[in-house]
Amino acid sequence: MPSGYVIADEPRPSPLRQASVNPMWPLLGLMLGGPWLAWPWFLLNGLAIGSATRRREGVLVALALFGSLGLAVGITALFGAKVLGGTSLKFALLGLLLWKLAMAYLLYTVQARSFAIYEYYSGAVWNGGLIVAIAASALRPRVLALLGGGLWTLVLG
């Protein structure tokens, strides 16, 4: 007979638990590889650790993606209208980069709480996150080439 006592933040066992990593690694994955790696990795990690905030993490990833898309469309339109150019274009692209980093850091802070509880009670953490982040850095030029150099390169690059 199941117990009626449940801790709201307690991680729920997942068949993906072997893939769980410290959320610091997806954050570093964004810095070295890009959002194409980090955002799905945050979602996978949330499933792997049985994060109590999985829905919030999914909303944040969607917000990061659509926010980046909106900023990229705006920058592209302003560049096409010759409103942005030179230094102002560089600052606009820097703003897009800052948006991606801020969203990744927000995802990290949200997921870190669940990860701390997961690690304390379960302890099963894969320590290969650095390898994935370094591999993403090496694969970044190829992935960006697959995106074709257009709008999606701005969003996911």
**Start-to-end CA span in the chain (Å):** 50
Rounded CA separation 127/62 (Å): 27
pLDDT digits (tens, 9 = 90+) for 25-60: 999 999 999 999 999 999 999 999 988 899 999 999
Is there a domain that residue 96 lies in? yes
**127: its two tokens:** 């320590």
**Residue 6: its pLDDT value, please?**
59
List, in order, residues 6 or more apart from 95 with CB less than 8 Å away. 71
Instruction: Establish if 95 belongs to a structural domain.
Output: yes
Average pLDDT over residues 10-17: 70
Position 51 in a domain: yes
**Domain presence at residue 7:** no
Q: Is the pLDDT of residue 95 over 60?
A: yes
pLDDT single digits (tens) 98-118: 999 999 999 999 999 999 988
pLDDT at 120: 86
In a domain, 3, yes or no: no
Q: Which has more confidence, 16 or 55? A: 55
Helix, strand or coil, per DSSP, at residue 7: coil
The whole domain housing 44 covers 19-156
| Mean of per-residue pLDDT scores for the chain | 90
**In a domain? residue 101:** yes
Residue 106 to residue 76: CA distance in whole angstroms: 26
Instruction: Look at residue 121 in the predicted model and tell me its pLDDT.
Output: 82
Question: Domain total for the chain?
Answer: 1
Instruction: Provide the 10 A C-beta neighbour count for residue 103.
Output: 22
